[in-house]
Chains A and B, each alone.
Chain A
Amino acid sequence: MSGAAADTPVLKVMGAHRAFAARQALQDVSLSASSGEIIALLGPNGAGKTTLMRAVAGRLKLDAGTVSVVGLDPYIDSTARAKLGIVPQTIALYPALTARQNLDVFARLAGLRGAAIADAINLALDRAQLTERAEESLGSLSGGMQRRLNIVVGTLQNPLVLLLDEPTVGVDLDARQTIHALLHDLRNTGMSILMSTHDFEQATTIADRVAFMANGRLLAEGPVASLVRQVFGDSKEGVVAFNASVGQKAGRILSDFGLRATSDERLWSGPVTGGYQALDALEKELKEAGVHVAEIRLRDPGLDGVFMHLTEHAS
């Protein structure tokens, strides 16, 4: 369990700036995490998620701003780094070693000694549900099992903050659910989990808070329901699909209605007040303009809608 008080952030990022040549990878990013919560970092490639994770891991010096883990800077203080568990996106394990041997090696590298090593290994195997497969080499484990082992290796020294990069890439639905359960278990021990992901559904399912990033900026952060409410209020999300990109006239009608094109120009969405009646009116107007609608519907708004709204306003 974390030694930090529940309401005191174990991780704090304040006004983080970092540039690579002319490109601003982080621009005034501030974020905090308390013990026992999962924060999902959402954003497209190049948004700054990895840069932020590297800065938190102490692998990157900020141009301005601070990162602190229990009050210490992980870039200069190994005590702070010892409070962090790292779970890279790739399976960062030794393929020729068994599950137990991998855990043993990384436990020692994490600074554990004596009986603490065996205890940590057994706990990790139990958490990953791999006790029965402990003596098998990494290559003989399924993709999901390797992912779980990859995660629990990051928890061997019982860190206060676990940094996870895309924890469910390339796994099937069952394996994904098992990993979600594992992350919930870890959170329940008091661990704070900062997880980068592209997957809005995953963030909605397991994150206590989400943080949207784009172009190095933190666009918004908070609980999923709160963010959805901020953008959509009591509205539903309207979704209109076309078979081809729409022309200027139809685009104007959709924009006036409050909808915005997604990255796929054939799909428009946005908050809709007035329910199905409003949607019927929109469909009629588009028909009169000679535009064929492939699909039109209302749904409960989600994080993808929030993200579209935020990125549009950011640009």
Chain B
Amino acid sequence: MTAAMFRAMWLNLLNDRGALIMAFVMPVLFFLVMAEIFSSASGSQMQIRVAFVDEVKDDLSIRLLDALKTSDSIEVINTEGFGREQLTDLVVRGTADVGLLVRAEGRRLDDAGGFGPSPLVLINDPSRGVTVQMLSGQIQQAYFSALPDVALGSVANVLEDQFIEFDDEQRADLDEGLSEMGVAASEGQQVGWSVDDIVEPQAVTGPPMATNHVGYYAGAVAFMFLLFSSMSGATSLTEERESGVLDRILAGPGGMVVMVNGKFLFLAAQGCVQMLLIFMTAWVVYGVDLPGHWQLWSLITLIASMAAAGLALLVAAICRTPAQARNMANITVILLSVIGGSMVPRFFMPPWLRELGWFTPNTWVLEAYSSVFWRNQGLESLLLPCGLLLSLTVVSLLGAQWFSAYRARL
């Protein structure tokens, strides 16, 4: 009879094209959008839109801006004939993320340690403050790689001012060397240096970072939709109570346990299919290594689907009417997803909110998937998250059965 309830849920879904699309197509589309956003935001593809205005137009400023304009991380906004007011306007209107002004009243670019206004101004919108940090990094990079003679000359000037006085011969050799370096840099030769020369990034494990983020988002989006569709399916508990279907079922030999268990099995199975579709998309489109982790993935997915199904049934069983159940379901899913890291990665959150995340199933599901896909860890790393999720499943399912029976007796 549990199978009969499963069958009722399955036929209901199969006959309702809208529900089918919501259950299996929408999550994949949503995942693709989120993955595209976050894989580019965390990888090398991220670009900021920069508008440049050069009021100086000397050899140094032209070399610096030319170097910046060739960067893959910068999308250049056309500022032909623009002054500083139009530059500011571009930022205010959001056409540019940040504006770079080489101002006329500033010091020269080769007078880094001198007095007076700085030569470069970054005009920015505080709501996009991170773009200032990103452009500053790009300027440092360009300063050392495209203007190595200026950078080195500035260092020499500081040395001479504070530590050592060059004699005329030394000074002449230095000037000649810097001049040759400047010419070579202008011709595009690699004579400069950058922080990259002293830094070697090393990922802890696994594939490139962008793919890791897709793996994270596959789990995050999948579990959020799992909660949504489970809650939606579980609402049928209250609908059937109201329509009288429950009266029929309770009159039968199965009773309430059969009804709740049948729904639980169906929702868990539906959740596994949803997870599979999203992770297969992540594998095919973004190269997330699903085949390499299929066994642990299957374990996490099964337990996560059961936890979502149990929780959804508990929420529905507590509510008195379908409308109440729908509202409660939406609020619950959004709250859990926001706090648990399904919408925004938890490392972006303030510490107290990050701690609160441990009270949501989303966090434990993401922790489990991250252990496997991000950190390449084994079964032992899943004991805690999967144990907690299983406990949630058992408690929720028992609670759903108790509340359903209680409501039916009223």
Contact = CB atoms under 8 A, between A and B. Distances in A.
Interface of A: 57-60, 78, 81-82, 84-86, 88-94, 96-98, 101, 104-106, 108-111, 137, 153-154, 157
B252 interface: yes
Contacts of A58: 250-251
B247 A109 contact: no
B248 A154 contact: yes
B249 interface: yes
A108 B3 contact: yes
B4 interface: yes
B253 A86 contact: no
Interface string B7-24: 110011001100000000
Nearest to B240: A92
Contacts of B247: 57, 59, 86, 88, 92
11 contacts: A59-B250, A81-B251, A86-B244, A88-B244, A96-B11, A97-B15, A104-B7, A105-B7, A108-B4, A111-B252, A111-B253
Contacts of B253: 78, 81-82, 110-111
Q: Which of B5, B243, B244, B252 has the most CB of A within 10 A?
A: B252
Contact of B245 (A82, A92, A104): A92
A89 B247 CA distance: 11
A92 B408 contact: no
A9 B15 CA distance: 43
Contacts of B409: 59-60
Interface of B: 1, 3-5, 7-8, 11-12, 15-16, 242-245, 247-255, 258, 408-409
Given A78-B255, A81-B253, A101-B11, A106 B243 contact: no
Contacts of B12: 94, 96-97
Nearest to B259: A109
Given A59-B409, A78-B253, A109-B254, A92 B248 contact: yes
Contacts of A108: 1, 3-4, 7
A111 B245 contact: no
B8 A105 contact: yes
B252 A110 contact: yes
Contacts of B5: 109
B1 A59 contact: no
A101 B8 CA distance: 8
B224 to A, nearest CB: 25
Contacts of B248: 86, 88, 92, 106, 109, 153-154
A111 B248 CA distance: 12
Contacts of B250: 57-59, 81
Given A59-B409, A89-B244, A82 B11 contact: no
Contacts of B408: 59
Given A59-B408, A105-B8, A108-B1, A137 B15 contact: yes
Nearest to B255: A78
Contact of A109 (B4, B11, B244): B4
B243 A81 contact: no
A57 B243 contact: no
Across the A-B interface, the 10 shortest Cβ-Cβ residue pairs: A88-B244, A92-B244, A108-B4, A96-B15, A86-B251, A105-B8, A111-B253, A90-B244, A109-B4, A92-B245
Nearest to B248: A86
B252 A109 contact: yes
A160 B6 CA distance: 28
Nearest to A92: B244
Contacts of B258: 109
A146 B194 CA distance: 78
A91 B1 CA distance: 22
Nearest to A106: B248
A94 B252 contact: no
Contacts of A96: 11-12, 15-16
Contacts of A85: 251
Q: Which of A58, A78, A105, A106 has the most CB of B within 10 A?
A: A105
A278 B163 CA distance: 136
A111 B242 CA distance: 23
A91 B11 CA distance: 18
Nearest to B10: A105
B4 A105 contact: yes
Q: Which of B1, B16, B242 has the most CB of A within 10 A?
A: B1
A153 B16 CA distance: 22
Nearest to B408: A59
A91 B252 contact: no
Contacts of A84: 251
Given A81-B253, A97-B15, A109-B8, 5 more contacts: A81-B251, A86-B244, A93-B245, A96-B11, A97-B12
Contacts of B252: 81-82, 109-111, 157
Nearest to B15: A96
B253 to A, nearest CB: 5
Nearest to B14: A96
Nearest to B246: A92
Nearest to A89: B244
Nearest to A78: B253
Contacts of A101: 11, 15
A109 B8 CA distance: 9
B8 A94 contact: yes
B303 to A, nearest CB: 28
A82 B254 CA distance: 10
B243 A91 contact: yes
B340 to A, nearest CB: 32
A241 B100 CA distance: 94
A156 to B, nearest CB: 10
A92 B15 CA distance: 18
A105 B254 CA distance: 13
B25 to A, nearest CB: 18
A109 B243 contact: no
Contacts of B7: 104-105, 108
Contacts of A90: 242-244
Contacts of B244: 86, 88-92
A8 B5 CA distance: 36
